[in-house]
Amino acid sequence: MVDDRIPVGVLGATGTVGRKLVELLTGHPWFRLAEVCGSSSSSGEILARGWNSAGGESASVAPESLRLKDPDSPWESPILFSALPASAAREHEIRLVECGHILVSNASVHRMRPDVPLIIPEINSHHLEIITRQAWEGSLITNPNCAVSALALALAPLHEVFGVKQVVTTSFQAISGAGTPGPPAGSLLDNVLPLIRGEEEKFTGEPQKILGRIEDGVISSADFPVSASCTRVSVSDGHLLSVSVALAGEPSPESVTKVMAGYRGSCASLNLPSTPTKPLEVMPGEDRPQPRLDRNRGDGMTATVGRIRQCEVLDVKFFVLVHNLVRGAAGAALLNAELCQAEGLVVTAR
């Protein structure tokens, strides 16, 4: 049988996010995994075996049969996913879009460039239009920081209906968010690490860019401050955030709950394969969401909210949880690539 799915490549396929991308791409209805790379030192090796394959016989190339390319070698696939660390992304990503590829990046280095969209399709799929201002033959699209994705999904319906004025948040971030090998096990035993270097700074600009407007072809970021404290906790997967927010009109917790529960986002009609039925789900009960119980909702693409209540300092406070490797990273990049395909951008690739 002829496999007419679009060939794609994964840069950084041996890392935590890259492995999750390979897993999600196995058996994907639109894309087939055709090329992978790790570091230059690993080129020529067979891609690591052992991850779960949901695609079975529908996968045209078994992940374990692919050989790792050298990152500097030519790539053939029109769509490339970057799960590279920041230093390697800075070295390779622009070169690849200059060669005509659509590159969907999970790395942080280009997220805040004014000509690069920072996209969560349910919130700001229309921001994709700014790629027309990019000077390259190809296109560069980014997804946000894993913890920021949780905050942005929770704030999106509130900003749309009420208007966000101020945000204070503390994150409790999973071990897997630190990548491979992550923090030493001993440092998290009976402990919480009250610093994740470089993480809190991402909250000062990324949520506002995602929730911003397009004005004269340029993104005008939303105008509200975020005060963030980021911690690492002994949880395998799933970032949990405690959020307090000031909203225009000082709505009640009941009004906020209703708006959050009804949120479906702006791209539901596109029928993207990775779009969950509910991008945001409000959990009943006083003890939810919990990482172990709720991180896999919507196949890991649904953010869950709970304990929506009055805040004694701002207006409303709540908890929000996201699977950091799926909605916060690999699944987010895959959904952005699906958006590019649905919007007809892939045919313009090299």
Active-site residue set: 146, 239
β 31-37/139-142 pair status: unpaired
Contact present, 37 and 89 (Cβ < 8 Å): no
Measured CA to CA, the distance from residue 156 to residue 49 in angstroms comes to 39
Contact present, 35 and 7 (Cβ < 8 Å): yes
In 54-138, the DSSP E strands lie at: 68-69, 79-82, 102-105
Q: Tokens in use for 208?
A: 């506002």
Q: CA dihedral in degrees (261, 211, 229, 82; nearest 10)?
A: 100
> Amino acid identity, residue 221?
S
Q: Tokens in use for 306?
A: 């709970």
Smallest Cα–Cα separation from 24: which of 57, 71, 59?
A: 59
Burial 320-349 (b: 16+ CB within 10 A, else e): bbbbbbbbbbbbbbbbbbbbbbbeebbeeb
Measured CA to CA, the distance from residue 336 to residue 100 in angstroms comes to 17
Return the SS3 of 229.
Answer: strand
Return the SS3 of 265.
Answer: coil
How wide is the angle at C-alpha 218 spanned by C-alphas 215 and 219, nearest 5°? 85
Q: Tokens in use for 76?
A: 């053939």
Contact present, 39 and 71 (Cβ < 8 Å): yes
Distances 128 to 61, 77, 105, 152, 337 between C-alpha atoms, Å: 31, 21, 14, 17, 11
